[in-house]
Amino acid sequence: ADFRESRGETELAVGILERANQIHCKQSANVAINLASLLELQDQYEAALGILTSFDSHTVGNLMIYNRYIAILKRREIKYPRMERNEGKSVGEAYESLIRDGLLPYSSNRVTNAKRITENTRRSISSYYSMHYARYLRKVKGRTKVAMKVMKTAIVADPSNEGLYHALIDLHYDSIPLDIESIKDAFEQCINGSKTPLSLKVRISQWRIELFEEIGSDPKDIRQFTSIHKELLMKKKEKDFEPIETNEVKEEV
């Protein structure tokens, strides 16, 4: 296929990859992505998206496939701004489907495939694309509040994922003008979260102190944050020294 493409014989290259994708290499993500890429070059966006959706219908959880699907939609959105509204398929729809189900929209066998994805895998996919979606909403669409809502929802679903907290706080930090109270609230969501691991609370608490040394204007905040941090460190120290309970039964002599 590469040889045919190098000679300008794009149609022949597409034909070779189509046969490979349908018969010999159905499980190859690289073949599907390469085929979708050639179709995109020919402005055959629906066909390109269909190849990736078809792959997801029989082989779930491949981030390379998902990333290429979204990338094609983004490039189409830039090249044909009105097409997103008219065609129905959109970047937002793809992100939301991956966040909700761990699958591409319009892929077949959704009910069956959803059962094939473990809860940990679905949570991982959801958190990963929540961060990407929030970045897209903030940087491309200018919808910062919606981006923050996406991240807060992701944190509720995956409270032990440190990257989500960083992404949420960065959204607040990048806002102009800087909203100190919103940044405080974002930190509070982590540090006061009932399902947030203690070790993560300690790290986020330390980050809060360092950040407010830089952006804070009220010295009372630093004293309060430092006091809370000391309490968290004490709790962690106590937890680290807790004896490990075992179920071993001692033999009587």
- Which pLDDT tens digits describe the chain residue by residue (253 residues)? 776 767 777 788 888 888 888 888 888 999 999 999 999 999 999 999 999 999 998 888 899 999 999 999 999 988 887 765 545 578 999 999 999 999 888 877 777 877 788 889 999 999 999 999 999 999 999 999 999 999 999 999 999 999 999 999 999 888 878 888 889 988 998 898 888 899 999 999 999 999 999 988 889 999 999 999 999 999 988 887 766 555 554 444 3
Domain count, the chain: 1
Q: Are 23 and 15 a contacting pair, CB within 8 Å?
A: no
183 and 214 in contact (C-beta within 8 Å)? no
> 234 lies in a domain?
yes
Give Dmax (Cα) for the chain.
Answer: 85
Task: Identify the DSSP state of 244.
Answer: P
Report pLDDT for 8: 75
The answer to the question of residue 96 being in a domain is no
Residue 120 domain-assigned (yes or no): no
The answer as to whether 113 is a domain residue is no
Rounded CA-CA distance 77/82 in Å is: 8
Instruction: Establish if 160 belongs to a structural domain.
Output: yes
Determine if the pTM surpasses 0.75.
yes
45, part of any domain: no
Token digits of residue 220: 């009372």
Classify residue 183: in a domain, yes or no: yes
CA distance 171 to 165: 10
Residue 186 forms part of a structural domain = yes
| DSSP, res 25 | -
What is the predicted pLDDT for the residue at 116? 80
Phi, psi of 177 (to 5 degrees): -75, 165
Q: What are phi and psi of 121, to 5 degrees?
A: -65, -45
Write out the residue range of the structural domain in which residue 193 sits.
144-239
